[in-house]
Amino acid sequence: MEGKNPAFYKILMELSSHLRLPQGFMQKYGKMLPKQVELRICNNTWNVRVKKRSLEAEDHYFFEKGWTKFCEDARLEIFELLFFSYVDKSTFVVTVYGVTAFEKTIFSPPRCIIVLKDYRCYKVHVPKKFAVACRLFDKNEIPLEYVGGYTSSVALTMWQGRIAFGAGWSAFLKATRLSSDLALSGSRKTLCFEFDPMKNLIKVQPLRN
């Protein structure tokens, strides 16, 4: 695309699992839009599905799967204004303006990657930078939430200035079948840990090795 990027804005009148895209924008650029797009705020990105629905004998397009997570992560609120700039065929840069009309600073949750090498591990050390960002040094335990919703608390132990998941960690591995996956495959397991300050827990998600 040449020149000024196409753009549109939406005022959030409700928080729901989808967002209807403007008809005028879709009539002009809809053919270029893939079934999945990337929404970007600063260095944070979210993948969102684009879905077509027929309403009152007319086709409408919506952001659907992935939109809810975008709203949660960006801490969106009703009556905020979202400005979408279409920077390439699959990416929108999003700017959020709060109800005060000022641009909203979007919090980037602390994340870290940990590679599990042995299903028999009874504790795992946490990168210090991540531990500091999550204030784990001030806690005795922290809930871990696995994809699918399973949540269990693990004890935090400190040794030589480092934090580790201790008691409850092996039970978490068993409950989420991560230990059996490691034992059967005999290979490493890569996990992404993301701190959610609103729920005061750490979300755990496996990544492809």
Which part of the chain has CATH 2.40.330.10?
7-97, 111-207
Longest dimension (CA), the chain: 67
pLDDT digits (tens, 9 = 90+) for 141-190: 999 999 888 999 999 999 888 999 999 998 999 899 888 777 666 677 88
- Does domain 111-207 fall under CATH 2.40.330.10? My reply is yes
Nearest to 119 by CA among 164, 159, 157, 176: 176
Does domain 7-97 sit in CATH 3.40.50.300?
no
- Residues 90-137 have pLDDT tens digits of 999 999 999 888 998 877 788 899 988 765 667 789 999 999 989 999
pTM: 0.57
Helix, strand or coil, per DSSP, at residue 120: coil
Spatial separation of the C-alpha atoms in residues 80 and 92, rounded to whole Å: 17
Residue 104 tokens read as 């909203």
The pLDDT value recorded for residue 1 is 42
Kindly give the pairing relationship between strand 91-97 and strand 36-41: parallel
